[in-house]
């Protein structure tokens, strides 16, 4: 299969039609290159808050509700795009309010046959929990698709090995991210590459890029697209299948062979995924006495 992952820049939107046109251009470009799976980044939906004006977009709490209120229309649009271009799409994540609780950070996954589901972020960053009050969402999911088994670890979640291990049956793990600084980008990238090593699978990282002075939540963003595998036979020695250009908007593409994933899991030079259980407790506390 061919995968496309986005370095996505937010726009100031004056109309819903402008958003529809933008998404159509992005999806049409990737589909035109033969991509069967498209990955957009974390919090890429925050540009929808600009439809309610600068005061709404610039307010942390009000921008949540501005975006959340439009997610029904966003779902309709993405279902149409997935069907029209015959692609799977992981849409840009958004803060979503359900009932009377706090919002969750949710990325929706769309299939070309019109079906859709979602993945919520599990562990919040300090900004999300201390300033924005975003809550953890529902459990991790494994999506069975015609392209293989696919899991999603949203940004910070990719930095936790046990979350990655919970998705050890996935052929691909998608990592939509939003990172302010270069150090944040590299934390997520190292996490994504580590999960590919441990699970002997492919991870696909998308990034938000560009500066937006109208928002306190997504004002500065650093990153690029990247697609990673285990540095083992059938994969590049670096583990990097493809990477974009830092902070340059656009798609990054890679061809992925599911048989290579199956082969490295069965007969790789190392078998990290198989040997995971050998990490049982083995540390003891030792006091060294003075001579």
pLDDT digits (tens, 9 = 90+) for 68-111: 999 999 999 999 999 999 999 999 999 999 887 999 999 999 99
Is the pTM value of this prediction over 0.95?
Answer: yes
Question: Residue 281 domain-assigned?
Answer: no
Distance of CA 282 to the CA centre of its chain: 34
Cβ atoms within 10 Å of 37's Cβ, excluding its own: 23
Cβ-contact 180, 158 below 8 angstroms: no
Question: Residue 202 domain-assigned?
Answer: yes
Residue 229 CA: distances (Å) to CA of 48, 88, 189, 195, 234: 33, 20, 12, 9, 9
Residue 99 has what pLDDT? 82
Determine the Cα angle at 180 with ends 178 and 183, to 5°: 105
Question: Residue 286 domain-assigned?
Answer: no
Residue 147 has what pLDDT? 97
Q: How far apart are CA 206 and CA 40, in angstroms?
A: 6
Backbone angles phi, psi at 6, to 5 degrees: -100, 140
**166, two tokens:** 């919970």
Question: Residue 32 domain-assigned?
Answer: yes
Residue 288 has what pLDDT? 87
Q: Total domain count for the chain?
A: 1
Could you say which DSSP state residue 135 is in? B
The SS3 of residue 27 is helix
Question: Residue 282 domain-assigned?
Answer: no
Question: Residue 289 domain-assigned?
Answer: no
Question: Residue 285 domain-assigned?
Answer: no
- Enclosing domain of residue 30: 2-268
Q: Which residues of the chain have pLDDT under 50?
A: none
Question: Residue 284 domain-assigned?
Answer: no
Residue 290 has what pLDDT? 73
Q: How far apart are CA 157 and CA 124, in angstroms?
A: 8
Q: What is the CATH number of the domain that holds 190?
A: 3.60.110.10
């Amino acid at each position: 299969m061919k995968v496309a992952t986005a370095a996505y820049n937010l726009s100031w939107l004056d109309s819903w039609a402008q958003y529809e046109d933008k998404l159509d251009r992005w999806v049409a470009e990737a589909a035109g290159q033969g991509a069967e799976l498209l990955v957009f980044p974390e919090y890429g939906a925050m540009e929808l808050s600009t439809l309610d004006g600068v005061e709404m977009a610039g307010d942390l709490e009000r921008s949540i509700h501005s975006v959340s209120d439009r997610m029904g229309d966003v779902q309709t649009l993405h279902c149409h795009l997935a069907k029209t271009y015959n692609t799977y799409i992981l849409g840009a994540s958004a803060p979503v309010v359900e009932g009377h609780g706090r919002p969750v950070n949710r990325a929706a996954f769309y299939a070309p046959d019109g079906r859709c589901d979602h993945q919520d972020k599990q562990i919040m960053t300090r900004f999300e929990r201390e300033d924005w009050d975003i809550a953890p969402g529902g459990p991790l999911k494994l999506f069975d698709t015609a392209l293989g088994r696919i899991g999603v670890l949203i940004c910070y979640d990719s930095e936790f090995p046990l979350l990655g291990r919970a998705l050890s049956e996935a052929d691909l793990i998608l990592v939509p991210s939003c990172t302010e600084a270069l150090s944040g980008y590299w934390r997520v990238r190292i996490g994504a590459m580590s999960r590919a090593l441990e699970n002997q699978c492919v991870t696909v990282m998308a990034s938000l890029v560009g500066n937006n002075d109208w928002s306190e939540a997504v004002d500065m963003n650093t990153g690029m697209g990247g697609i990673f595998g285990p540095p083992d036979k059938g994969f590049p020695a670096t583990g990097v299948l493809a990477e974009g250009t830092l902070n340059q908007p656009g798609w990054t593409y890679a061809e992925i062979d599911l048989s290579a994933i199956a082969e490295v899991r069965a007969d790789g030079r190392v078998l990290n995924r198989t040997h995971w259980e050998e990490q049982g407790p083995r540390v003891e506390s030792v006091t060294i006495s003075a001579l």
